[in-house]
Amino acid sequence: MGFVGAAMAAAVAAARNETGAPIFDVVGLDLPTQQGSQRIKAINAGCFPFETTDSELKSVTSRAVSTGNLRASDDPSEYETADIVIVDIHLDVDFEAKPPTAKFAGFKGAIATLAERVRPGVLVIVETTVPPGTTEYIVAPLIREALGRRSVASESVLIAHSYERVMPGSQYLKSITDIWRVYSGVTEAAGRACEMFLQRIVNTKKFPLTRLKRPLESETAKLLENSFRAVNIAFIEEWARFAEQSGIDLGAIISAIRMRPTHRNIMRPGFGVGGYCLTKDPLLLGVGARDILGLGDLTFPFCETAVHTNQKMPLATLEMLKKHLGGLAKKRILLFGASYREDVSDTRYSPSADFLFWAEEGGAIVHVHDPLVDMLEDYAVHRGDANPEGYDAVVFAVAHHAYRVLEPAVWLAGSKPLVIDANMVLSPHQIEAFRKAGCNLKVIGRGDL
């Protein structure tokens, strides 16, 4: 019941038939850990288990619990009565390994648990982003081996892959129900069953489904689309440094380029890359090629370089701080934003955590503010009003709504810290207001200020 699983459970429970009755009875499963128990307790109380700005997602969660077709549990016996099992188990990458590898233990354990309990005829849909080949060469054999030990026909469980495109934020629920989906089955029957399920939860009239021949292709599609974005972001980094030193506004230049329809998806300069997808997915291509498909002679330098480039992005903001503060030692910095993107509470792989570590390593004193987050790894995050008095610098790292409506003159109340917009958070009005208030203001990707 993580950021994907909890939202998927709510979306499936929200599906209704022609008479308005629920189509599915949904049980969300998690581990009996402290974190899992908190999520289970929240869902059973009718609450979405994460902070979210999506009021619709909160509403459908509450409604489904009140109507009795959504609950959560840590009891694996729930698999025994399931008709459909959706797998949203996280799959981490070991970044320190040379070359990187996938941490399959937890994922395989979850598959083994369900395989020992599911009944014949069940549909198992893998939504987890996985290395190419995982569904066909890891998931399917694990399930078939378990079925064989139970003297159950190996083809009696239908196995498919259909990756999620979940995007936490104001359209959290719609990123499941109103989005194009790609899917594929290990068998023809599994593909048909997966299609029938998706048609009941996705608005397929506006967002048609795409079926690929094999799960290998569906898995590759997810990695390719995320790797494209990661490479696009990394590509802009060198242009941002050029803009800052040559005195030009890269944001304005990119806006001009986006007028051309073929280039509307060009990325922009920013603070860093976070979240659970772009930070690791490009590396899963190599993992699948080497460790599953046996294609060890292939290399993926663009994907790997993009990940490493994006991991270092917060260093550009640190260097800007050093330059304009005369170093970091004993400087007091207020960091606005702990999550990895605007108006979400998800801090997984947040670049703010790396920034905080590196800034403190340089001797700075950093306080973090975020309207949606209480903790950033081991650091307490302040959620209330943040007074700029006494700070040498303020860094806007995440474009939360609260920051985009801030009135600089009122908020500053006479303070004049160095202000760095590290992620195109501030509007032209806010930028001008900070400058009129006497602040030295700098923007990542701009050298004209």
**For the segment 375-407, what is each residue's pLDDT rounded down to a tens digit?**
999 999 999 999 999 999 999 999 999 999 999
Task: Report the pLDDT value the prediction gives residue 92, as an integer from 0 to 100.
Answer: 94
Rounded mean pLDDT, 71-88: 97
Give pairs for 289-295: CB < 8 Å, separation 24+.
289/132, 290/99, 291/101, 291/102, 291/131, 292/131, 292/132, 292/133, 292/134, 292/137, 292/138, 293/132, 293/133, 293/137
Kindly report whether the global pTM for this prediction surpasses the value 0.85. Answer: yes
CA angle (424 as vertex; 421, 430 as ends), nearest 5: 65
According to DSSP, the β-strands at 123-126 and 84-87 are: parallel
Alpha-carbon distance values, 75 to 32, 117, 124, 139, 156 (Å): 8, 11, 18, 21, 23
Percentage of the chain beyond pLDDT 90 is: 97
C-alpha closest to that of 305 among 366, 231, 233, 239: 231
Q: What is the pLDDT of residues 211-236, one digit of tens each?
A: 999 999 999 999 999 999 999 999 99
Burial of residue 26 (number of CB atoms within 10 Å: 0-12, 13-18, 19+): buried
Architecture of the CATH domain 314-443:
3-Layer(aba) Sandwich (3.40)
Task: Report the pLDDT value the prediction gives residue 189, as an integer from 0 to 100.
Answer: 97
Rounded mean pLDDT, 49-59: 95
Burial of residue 447 (number of CB atoms within 10 Å: 0-12, 13-18, 19+): middle
Q: What is the pLDDT of residues 166-209, one digit of tens each?
A: 999 899 999 999 999 999 999 999 999 999 999 999 999 999 99
Q: How does residue 438 score in pLDDT terms, banded at 50, 70 and 90? A: very high
Task: Report the pLDDT value the prediction gives residue 86, as an integer from 0 to 100.
Answer: 98
Q: What is the pLDDT of residues 292-326, one digit of tens each?
A: 999 989 999 999 999 999 999 999 999 999 999 99
- Sequence spans of domains, the chain: 5-219, 314-443
Q: Which fold has domain 5-219?
A: Rossmann fold (3.40.50)
Task: Report the pLDDT value the prediction gives residue 352, as an integer from 0 to 100.
Answer: 97
Do the Cβ atoms of 307 and 277 come closer than 8 Å? Answer: no
Q: Inform me whether the pLDDT recorded for 8 exceeds 90.
A: yes
Same fold flag, 5-219 and 314-443:
yes
Burial of residue 298 (number of CB atoms within 10 Å: 0-12, 13-18, 19+): exposed
Q: Inform me whether the pLDDT recorded for 361 exceeds 90.
A: yes
Q: Inform me whether the pLDDT recorded for 154 exceeds 90.
A: no
Q: What's the CA gap between 8 and 10, in Å, rounded?
A: 5
Task: Report the pLDDT value the prediction gives residue 140, as an integer from 0 to 100.
Answer: 97
Mean pLDDT, the chain, whole residue set: 96
Task: Report the pLDDT value the prediction gives residue 213, as an integer from 0 to 100.
Answer: 97
